[in-house]
Amino acid sequence: MVNAAVKLPRILLLFSVPFSLAALGGCDGAISPTGSSGGSCSASSSSSTPVSCPARTPVAGVSFNGTVLAASQPVSQASVQLYAAGNSGNGSAPTPLLPAAVSTGADGSFTVPAGYACPSAQTPVYLISKGGQPGSASAANSSLWLMTALGPCGSVNAGSSFVLNEVTTAASVWALAPFMSSGGKVGASCTNTTGLDNAFLTANSLANATTGVSPGSGIPSTLTVPTGKLNTLANALASCTGSAGGGSCASLFNAATAGSVVPSNTLAAALNIARSPGNNVAAIYALATGSAVFSPALTAAPPDWMLYNTVSGGGMDVPTSVGITASGDVWVSSYFNVVSEFSPVGAPIFPDGITGSGINQSYGMALDSEGDVWIANEQTTANNGPGNVTELNPSGQAIASGLTGGGIDFPIAVAADLRGNIWFADYGDSKVTLLDSSGLPVSSSSGWGGASLAFPVALAIDSNQNAWVANQAGEVPITKISADGSQVTNYDCDCNGASGIATDRNGNVWVANYYGNSISEVNTCGTLELDAAKGGGVDRPQGIAIDGAGTVWVANYQGNSLSELEGASSSASGTFLSPSSGFGADASLLEPYSLTIDASGSIWVSNSGKNTLTQFIGIAAPVKTPMAGPPQTP
């Protein structure tokens, strides 16, 4: 638990100022203390350049064995195919590697012969089994589709053996959901091979592909896997998979219907549940209790069907900001003088974290486009100075420490822009500081912002390189500062205690209102688009992030949950997709401070109240990492 004496988070100090706010109309609603108009209201646009995928060197695959099991019974006469993941976009068509699918014997076993051509040794491969006759059933079940994610083709050893069952199916689908489409297709853009590879790693942390049980083999001691919840999902699938002729599958398919999409096989049902985790929770749980094949399992219905991993260790001590590297490693800053790094599956790179180099009382941290780590030390080590900045290289070695130029004064938040510059919100003197990629000051020695800011606590960068600042106090909650600091424009967003801020790629700005228990949105011109929306479990919202599809995700510091909203590109923009209690109420979140999204579509949340990270698996649209400026698709 957090030491009660710690003022965490500082942005929650009681500067609750009554606001008299009005919706804005166009840019005329801007309040511009500097007399500027704030620049163009339009978001910058860039023409997309066709992606030329690098050439791959095919490799010959080895022979291996497998077994198909349904409700722990062997499935005979099932059709098994080995696929190489597609590389022309999310859910793109995979390559079937066998000229003809192989069939299972009476004991459910099959053999994949050697000699198939993988597109490359690094290309991830997976197995899908269709149909077959489970156990002593009198007929085949055409609705019985099972899946196992293997990993890179070159990592499959000759003579190895794999299991396809309901556990491996759930593990594979939840981890790979952002990369899946109907018919069992799995693929990603060739520019996001890392995100896809890490999703396969996550699938194998959830379930052991060799034994068909959860958790996976060789997972780090710092990683806790939701085995009981995964087994419960597997039991729900088993309500259909163990039946002959698909006669008992109607209840599963009804419960797994998402909108107008009614599944016709167990793999499609699993994908629907993963993508709509709040739908028909009780009905799905009832199916699981009626076919309790896998244990341990849940003893009561969960609040939703999201799967999550919990990461501990690595020296975390009141973790605050989170950032993701290009390789998928997770960096975390902690209030108590340490930063930590974890692998994509939760193994600490530094067992006790990184200390020294002036790292102290850090609320804010960001990674630049080169992977360097910029840490805002709110106060100096002596706890009586105006704070400074530390820069680490991707290997964790200090490049610079004690940086104070450009007006640094109790820095509390950090954001990187597309030019390699780093912005800081200075809580001490209500200014912002801009440093270039070498740590040299771009802003003046007194910082930027003039009298426009009032206790700035968060900032985000738009596609025009403007910084949008969330002001915890004062009459105007958000401020836009141009890339050169010459234009400072305040906007009224009907906010109340703006504590988190994020931009989407179309220039819209989303604000988490801590005191107002609400979410607001203004467009790039500052016009109010979403007026302090409440619901969806929003409870003292702190962190806010946008995924690659523009969907908005919120960490509720006091509600210990996640909220989800439709993004600006949706016809239902601002509509809550999360239930009234939020998502993840069973994930043991405690005072979640910030969140970020990786290239696999997982959301990483820092729990400042219990020194852990929570990885919500495959629930978002992938984001290019490290994130500089607004989120982009990888």
Condensed to tens digits (0 to 9), the pLDDT of residues 15-54 reads 333 222 222 233 433 444 333 334 456 666 555 566 788 8
For the chain, give every domain's residue range.
10-30+319-616, 63-305
The whole-number pLDDT of residue 244 equals 65
What confidence score (pLDDT) does residue 21 get? 27
What pLDDT is attached to residue 19? Answer: 28
536-565: burial string, b at 16+ Cβ within 10 Å, e else: bbbbbbbbbbbbbbbbbbbbbbebbbbbbb
The Cα 607–Cα 595 span in angstroms is 9
Which listed CATH number (3.40.50.300, 3.40.50.1820, 1.10.260.30, 2.120.10.30) goes with 10-30+319-616?
Answer: 2.120.10.30
- What per-residue confidence (pLDDT) applies to 224? 98
Residue 618 class from Cβ within 10 Å (0-12 exposed, 13-18 middle, 19+ buried)? Answer: buried
pLDDT at 45: 54
Torsion region of 154: left, alpha or beta (phi above 0 gives left; psi -120 to 50 gives alpha) = alpha
Instruction: With H, G, I as helix, E, B as strand and everything else as coil, classify residue 267.
Output: helix
Predicted local distance difference test score (pLDDT) of residue 6: 43
- Separation CA 271–CA 170 (nearest Å): 9
Q: Give the pLDDT of residue 178.
A: 98
Provide the b/e sequence for 34-67 (b: ≥16 CB within 10 Å).
beeebbebebeeeeeeeeeeeeeeebebbebebb
Give the pLDDT of residue 7: 41
- Mean pLDDT of all residues in 305-322: 98
Residue 473: pLDDT over 70 = yes
Containing 103, the helix (H) or strand (E) segment is strand 102-103
Lowest-confidence region among 138-142, 360-364, 389-393, 588-592: 138-142
Predicted local confidence at residue 463, as pLDDT: 93
Q: Residues 457-477: what's their mean pLDDT?
A: 91
Cα-based torsion angle of the residue sequence 488, 493, 494, 496 in order, rounded to the nearest 10 degrees: -70
Is 154's pLDDT higher than 60? yes
3-state secondary structure of 206: helix
Q: What is the pLDDT of residues 544-567, one digit of tens each?
A: 999 999 999 999 999 999 999 999
Residue 93 has pLDDT above 90, yes or no: yes
Q: What is the chain's mean pLDDT, rounded?
A: 91
The pTM of the full predicted model, rounded to 2 decimals, is: 0.93
More confident site: 13 or 514? 514
Question: In the prediction, which pLDDT does 261 show?
Answer: 84
pLDDT at 18: 28
Element of type H or E holding 310: strand 308-311
pLDDT (tens digit per residue) in 608-621: 999 999 999 999 99
Distance CA 466, CA 488 (A): 10
Flag whether pLDDT at 172 surpasses 50. yes
Checking if the pLDDT of 187 tops 80, the result is yes
